[in-house]
Structure 1
Amino acid sequence: MTTFDDRERAFEAKFARDEETAFRITARRNRLAAQWAADLLKLTPAEADAYAKAVVQADFEEAGDEDVVRKLFGDLTAAGLDVDEATVRRVLDEKLVEARRQLMQPE
């Protein structure tokens, strides 16, 4: 049964790596989207960095992207910017592609 056990451990290790990679891609996407919003909000570099951390942290409120969308959209509309929720979702989709590309490139 060692062959079966080895295969099982290999599948578990792959699953763990895949989950970690997905988490890193999502966190990078959120950071990139936060930088986009920080540019619109005209934040200083220090404020933009703190804001990016807040957006990444907001993703832990609930499963899915709704918490991030709510944070970005709420902050942008509270600042009086004319941005709709569809734009925020489109930016998240674009930043997901960029984040995946950044993390999957061989260094």
Structure 2
Amino acid sequence: MTGFNDREKRFESEFAHNQELKFKIEARRDKLVGKWAADLLGLSGEDAEAYAKAVVRADLEEPGDDDVFRKLRADLDGASKKISDEEIRTKMAECLEAAINELK
């Protein structure tokens, strides 16, 4: 029975590690896409950093990426930036790949 318990603990530990890594990757992606959007919005320095952090916080509102997308869409629309939904989603995907590569 000890072998089974050890195996179960190993799987639980691996699952927890994978969840933590997923969280870090998504947070990094959000920061990168937030910096991209900040640049489009004409923000720099501390304002750009604060905006990127706000994008990271937006991702905590609900599961999935839609909360981040909605924030970016609303902020870009509010600044009259002509960025398509496809461009935003493409940039989010690019930033996800970059985050994965950075955290490997």
What TM-score do you get using the length of structure 2 for normalisation? 0.97
| CA offsets 1:84-107 (integer angstroms, 9 cap, x no match) | 111111100000000000001xxx
State the alpha-carbon separation in 1 of the partners of residues 63 and 94 from structure 2.
Answer: 20
* Structure 1 residue 9: Cα displacement: 0.3
Alignment correspondent of 1:35: 35
State the alpha-carbon separation in 1 of the partners of residues 72 and 45 from structure 2.
Answer: 17
Alignment correspondent of 1:60: 60
Whichever residue aligns with residue 32 of structure 2, its letter is L
- Gaps of at least 5 residues in structure 1 are none
State the alpha-carbon separation in 1 of the partners of residues 93 and 23 from structure 2.
Answer: 15
Alignment correspondent of 1:79: 79
What TM-score do you get using the length of structure 1 for normalisation? 0.95
State the alpha-carbon separation in 2 of the partners of residues 45 and 85 from structure 1.
Answer: 26
State the alpha-carbon separation in 2 of the partners of residues 74 and 87 from structure 1.
Answer: 14
1:26 aligns with 2:26: yes
Runs (4 or more) in structure 1 with deviation over 3 Å come to none
- Gaps of at least 5 residues in structure 2 are none
Whichever residue aligns with residue 92 of structure 1, its letter is M
**For this pair of structures, how many residues does the alignment match?**
104
Matches within 5 A, 1:87-106: 87-104=87-104
* Structure 1 residue 63: Cα displacement: 1.1
Whichever residue aligns with residue 83 of structure 1, its letter is I
